[in-house]
Structure 1
Amino acid sequence: AVIGLPLIWVNILVFEALLIGFCSHIILDTVTKSGVEMFYPIRARCVMPGQDKYRLATNSQAEKTVFVLLIVAGIALYPLNRMGITQLLHTFISNISSTVSDVRAWGSDYRVWVEVDGYFQASLRPVNARFEAVTVRSERALLCYDYKTDAVYKIGTDETCNIYPRKIRAIKGEKRRIIVETANLQNEMLSNCLHKKPDIGLTFYSGSVWTDDEIDKKQDPDRYQTVKSTVSGLELDCAQSE
């Protein structure tokens, strides 16, 4: 372990793995009949348990069996080590509550993908696809974007959602940066704001716009209505410019 100290400045995870392996090796040696001289040069040997009949003989069949069991346990516990208890549980549950929790935990710093197996509530068409999470709407609903259809969908278990998920889980993607800008369009054309959008990434518009224009009443019921008519104009909710 002392020899491996320089690894701290190279990669702390490698040093931690070396330290765990070194310590576990010594601890496992204490369960053999010969034990281990843990405080060398003191000749006393450390063993556990104290009675010989409960300890393993070196190179015995019992020792080989324990070795195989430890390898199997290590392989079985690999997902737990990689994902953590919470994420592994969420993957196993695969419901909207766990997905909303993951999106809230990751969404400010990472892109979050949502894998959904469900159906459209309006048309009852089946859905088995991956979307990008846009924002959380409630404990039971998310707004997600589909790159294939260039549409926003509300996914969740309440009756206002477009897609009802039988199974749903979140997957953490790469790092991202979110930029929020506020625009006051008083005496200014909406098109001026739309022309300012970045050339890369996704841009969504939310807010109220006073206008005499009306929107097309024939909207796809399977899609989330990102633009709604109000008494004073239009209400934008994660809308995109065409």
Structure 2
Amino acid sequence: MEIGIGQIIAVTLFAVIAQYDGLNTGFGFAKPAVAGGIAGLLMGDMQTGLFVGGTLNLLSLGVGNFGGAVIPDYTSGAILGAAFAIMSGQGGEFGISLGIPVALLLTQLDILARFSNTFFQQKADKYANEGNIEMIERMNILGLIPWALSRAVPVAIGLYFGSDLVQMIVDNVPMWLMGGLKTAGGIIPALGIAILLKYLSIKKYVAYLFIGFVLAAYLNVPMLGISFVGLALAMLTFERRKETTVVFAGGGDNEDE
């Protein structure tokens, strides 16, 4: 699939918006699943984009850049991975296998963006001591430029050269390596689920885990259907806990009376 200039501009702008959202507004555009889905929508194949982004989202669970720590940029990885998967026609597994190294490589640009941003923030501190509100605002706006460029430049370059680059990769990568990449892409969701389960109270909610497993493995219920069942069980658990709290509170009042 050939990508047009309009699509390159749209996806690049979205990468910048997603980066800003992850730092400030927090609407969720920086989530790899959302980023991959929107990138896929802009590329004309939202399903593949959601598959790539959702899989990379599993890897990002429980990982945060607290205190300025640098983590893989799974958002940009999802965007470029989805785009490469759609342009190459090789499927979501191929996009995942490319999205992961992209996410790891962009950590270097993330460090550069943070380093550059400190220049503007130190200037903002200086103007704050002087009481210059206008220059404080200007420095904070200028501080967004390194962050924007750190994502816009690699995404635009990757998309612009992506069609030929991906085709070259597809034509020259040995079949055994391509098969290995696709196998690794299939294993990654299981790894992400395992990481997620590590942070959940499995012993306490093991019954729900069994229900989800039976729905997926034996009844072949689609993921959306399993999600609705999980939501319903969560609502029932919440209501049951609320009723128990009310009963305990009421019981205490009666005993006092």
What TM-score comes out, normalization by structure 2 length?
Answer: 0.24
Report which of the two structures shows the higher radius of gyration computed on alpha carbons.
Answer: 1
- Counting helix residues as a fraction of each chain, which structure ranks higher? 2
Q: Which has the higher contact order (CA 8 A, sep 6+)?
A: 2
- Counting strand residues as a fraction of each chain, which structure ranks higher? 1
